[in-house]
Amino acid sequence: MDDKQLATQASGQAGERLAREFLEQQGLTFVQQNIKYKFGELDLIMKQGEEWIFVEVKYRSSGRYGGAINALGNKQIQRLKRAAEHFIQLNHIDAICRFDLIAIDDDQINWLQNAF
């Protein structure tokens, strides 16, 4: 891995940490993070009461190129849905689920509930 990849990975981990702390401050309960399957990855899994929340975290150090809130494409959304479906099946979850987006530009956090 080169220096740029390491820096990107470190900033992504920092973004996930900020997102988790923010969501916990909003009353959500942490379940798991960085669940990886060959067809997709789940950044954060949280719960709010009985509802399961699959959270995609997008972190950008600047607002250039549309910022973090515009960094999620249709192909990625499909991979996230597939990974969440797999997680739900593996864990025998029978509950309401939703997908949220945490978009972080510098230290500005935007929380989009039911993002897709």
Structurally, how many domains does the chain consist of? 1
User: Higher model confidence: residue 111 or residue 60?
Assistant: 111
What is the band of 3 on the pLDDT scale with cuts at 50, 70, 90?
A: very low
* 69-98 pLDDT tens trace: 777 888 999 999 999 999 999 999 999 999
pTM: 0.85
Give the separation between CA 1 and CA 45, rounded to whole angstroms. Answer: 27
The two structure tokens encoding residue 35: 């669940």
What is the band of 7 on the pLDDT scale with cuts at 50, 70, 90?
A: very low
Q: Quote the pLDDT of residue 13.
A: 83
CATH code: domain of residue 56: 3.40.1350.10
Return the closest-CA partner of residue 81 out of 32, 46, 48, 39: 39
Domain range for 61 is 3-112
User: In the predicted model, what is the mean pLDDT of residues 27-48?
Assistant: 96
Contact assessment for residue 40 and residue 89, using Cβ atoms and an 8 Å cutoff: no
User: Higher model confidence: residue 8 or residue 77?
Assistant: 77
